[in-house]
Amino acid sequence: MSEATDWETRLRRRARAMQRATAARDKDIAAARRAGHSFRELGRWADANHETARTIAIRVNGDSLTQAELDAVAEPVTAPSAHT
């Protein structure tokens, strides 16, 4: 097999850099969603569609919830006392 040309080396390096940048962006989108930001905000900030931001958050976080929504789901619901 022949040695890689300068162009092949450069393009492979750029492809790896793009993969790292995409992974970092996806992690940031997921973290910002957890912090409470809307999918429309995330899409606008990341120059992506809001549905793309939602899909990324679900893939990275396992769901599309904010931390406040997760906390609300996790809190036990107590029945009102019958002795009031």
| C-alpha distance from residue 25 to each of 37, 39, 43 (Å) | 15, 14, 11
Q: Where are the beta strands (DSSP E) in the chain?
A: none
The number of domains in the chain is 1
Which tens digit of pLDDT belongs to each residue from 17-75?
Answer: 999 999 999 999 999 999 999 999 999 999 999 999 999 999 999 999 999 999 999 87
Q: Which domain holds residue 33?
A: 9-65
Domain assignment of residue 37, yes or no: yes
Domain assignment of residue 24, yes or no: yes
Domain assignment of residue 18, yes or no: yes
Here the tokens at position 62 are 């396992």
**pTM reported for the whole predicted model:** 0.81
Domain assignment of residue 79, yes or no: no
Domain assignment of residue 39, yes or no: yes
Domain assignment of residue 16, yes or no: yes
